[in-house]
Structure 1
Amino acid sequence: MPDLLSFDLAIFLCGTFVAAFVTSLAGFAFGMIAAAVWLYALAPQQVSALIAAYALLVQGYAVWKLRHLLDVHRLMPFILGSAAGIPIGILALRWASAAQFRFGVGAILALFSLYNLVRPKMPSMKQAGRGADTAIGILNGFISGSTGLGGIAALIWSSMRGWTRDEQRAVFQPTAVATFVMMLVAFGGTGIITRETLRLFFMGLPVLALGMWLGWMLYGKLDEAAFRRIVLVLLLISGVTLIASAWR
């Protein structure tokens, strides 16, 4: 792919900053925010690879802080399932057109936002076993490999399992980090990570660090609930816009 035009590069850097800032402040949605912006400037495979690389940095620190809560026995079905689902997702990514990719990402953004805005009463899955957890892991891996948006399926499923908030975070965040690592290995092995993608990654690191730092500086100084709601509404609008653009 030829070098990005200056306008496209500006879109990429802007999306990186906003995603890092919001994630540090609100604690969620790096990949979704980044994808909502980057898809107007980058190719689908670049978007997926960069989401995995940056999200690994952003969420890796959070998982380190939660290391005392990690339950390997509980985590393994999600991680093994994700390992099985990622190759299928990558096949879909390699075959999908740009329009199909935008539609898929837009649908995920819209559905995730609606779920968190409406908060429908979901059936309790407290009695679900490791088989169900593995199936969710496979779905998580497929979504991750095809879009770069790792951890979404595990996040929603964890909220239905009757676990405490800390127990949920100790499942979906490590699952996401492990998924991002596996994605990057798979992307590297299939040629998805190109020299241009690496160049973008290193160019965006200072902007990523600045966004994270500003988010941490403002953490606790804003109405977190109101801020999250604004972010979700913006994600919903972005999702609908991406779906509409895919039909042009």
Structure 2
Amino acid sequence: MGWLGFGAAQLAAIGAIALLAFVVRGVSGFGSSMVGIGGLSLLLPPQQVVPAFLALELLTTAHLLPGVWRQIDWRSLRWVIGGCLLATPLGLTLLAGLDAGTMRLGVSLCLLVIAALMLSGLAQRWAPRQTPGPLGALAVGAVSGALNGAVGISGPPAIVFYFATTAAATSRATLIAYFLFTDVWALALAGGAGLLKSAALPLIVAALPWSLAGIWLGSRLYLRLDEAQLRRLVWWLLAALGAAGVANALRG
């Protein structure tokens, strides 16, 4: 084995996946876990990948929070977080009996449909003109938490909720804060379950430089995009993630 127990091909793949994942996170405020964990799990055991990637997200994106603090929609975010906290244990209890592959396929298909509707402009006829109130935010958080508890996918409800109803800069800032919260909580749960083992440390060390480079590059690319470009990029990204999820689910 080479450096840190990884071969040359593995190190190259780890670097490429980490770079891409955090370019996506830097531009949009989300997507790094869907890209990074999905990609790295094809190479390494998920028990090694998941806690390592949660740690990488905290190490690379926490510094973004001060710069977007004033743009965060705290009024809705507190309700989304509350719904997520309440519903995650419920998701573990009620939905754990369902087939995880079927659930992921359903979520991925929903992403594809939503992205297609938004890109075509059809969804603009039904989308509210502003972010819904506390009950709407609480419901989004509950769906997010239930999906997180059942199949480990918390992002799509919150992403659609904000980017469909809120200014793109506010959506990005609020999602950065939301996913930092979910990362901290998931990392605490992983630590309590004994998943933060020494196996994750070499992966963190190998991926961290590329992750930092990706978040820097993504943040610079974000500054070059206007409102319409960023919003369209987000829907194309969701379409790509949905298509990848469908392909993975069908492959079994």
Q: TM-score under structure 2 normalisation?
A: 0.72
C-alpha deviation, 1:132, in angstroms: 3.4
Letter in 2 for 1:189: G
Equivalent positions of 1:69-148 (< 5 A) are 69-88=71-90, 104-105=103-104, 107-119=106-118, 120-121=122-123, 122-124=126-128, 128-145=132-149
Partner of 2:20: 18
Percent same amino acid at aligned positions?
A: 23
Question: Superposition RMSD on alpha carbons, in Å?
Answer: 3.9
1:60 aligns with 2:82: no
CA distance in 1, matches of 2:117, 2:214: 29
Letter in 2 for 1:158: Y
**CA 1:204–1:105: 2 relative to 1, 3 Å:** farther
CA distance in 1, matches of 2:150, 2:180: 16
**CA 1:208–1:107: 2 relative to 1, 3 Å:** farther
Partner of 1:241: 247
C-alpha deviation, 1:158, in angstroms: 2.7
Letter in 2 for 1:116: A
Structure 2, unmatched stretches of 5+, are: none
Letter in 2 for 1:141: G
CA distance in 2, matches of 1:153, 1:192: 27
Aligned residue-pair number: 240
Question: Contact 1:159 / 1:168 at 8 angstroms: preserved in 2?
Answer: yes
Partner of 1:203: 206
1:172 aligns with 2:178: no
CA distance in 2, matches of 1:52, 1:147: 16
Q: TM-score under structure 1 normalisation?
A: 0.73
Question: Which is worse superposed, 55-64 or 197-206?
Answer: 55-64
Question: Which is worse superposed, 47-56 or 191-200?
Answer: 47-56
C-alpha deviation, 1:194, in angstroms: 2.2
Structure 2 SS opposite 1:124: coil
